[in-house]
Amino acid sequence: MGHAKFKTSVTFYFEMNLKKEFTDKLKEAKKIVFFTGAGISAESGISTFRGKDGIWNKMKPEELASFNAFMKNPDLVWEWYQHRRDIIHKTSPNKGHYAIAELEKYFDVTVVTQNIDNLHRRAGSKKIFELHGNIERNFCIDCKTFYDLVELDSSNKVPNCKKCGGLIRPDVVWFGEFLPQDQFSGGEKAAEWSDICFVVGTSAVVYPAAYIPMSAKRNGSYIVEINVEPTDLSSYADYSLFGKSGDILPEILTEMRTLKN
């Protein structure tokens, strides 16, 4: 298939109309997957989890985001994740998140995300696979009991499990840990069955997560890249749109409304 690569404003895309091949795919599609990364969260203001000042900038991520680091200094690691949660709780889903959720009116939509911020669920998306976990969930390292944040003390001291007394950690994938198999296999299966796979806010070159769009491509899905600039994925995608996902995805939603009327 030919590739459409433009480096112009989003306004230009939709004034000149979307590529006909792409709109034809939209008309025919029944199942679509959104494979999302840090770029879509950055548009909500989550561009970094570190403050401009303080202890966090003096430490490497692996000194805070690993099981060994947690066991060595659980209170410090918990405090860092509380800091990250504070940032996330002060942000909201953006127009890109909401457009993905609203597209469920027209398609069977699955979101496969590398983000841990829960913004897709807060925007209303129903079917989500979280490859790297969810910062708003936690679990006991001993008995594996899960806890939501509302069940836990909001202090910066690591809480203990109410059942067994074990330490409670964030339900996120740390350095040296495997992706949750149920989330990865579920996302991969959705990608394999998709008619269109949108890759949004990520270059999709870090494995094993990058297997998701690769699986979609191998099984005949039409790959649409939405990134602010060309990436290593661009030569692999069937169609690339360069700009903010918060601008582009609402326009695709508008196009769908037109196609369905």
Among 233, 223, 217, 219, which Cα is nearest to 196's? 223
Greatest CA span in the chain, whole angstroms? 62
Known active-site residue 83: no
Distance CA 191, CA 133 (A): 19
Strand 31-36 and strand 128-130: the pairing is unpaired
CB 166 within 8 A of CB 143: yes
Token output for 209: 């997560």
Main-chain phi, psi angles of 134, to 5 degrees: -145, 120
Active site residues: 132
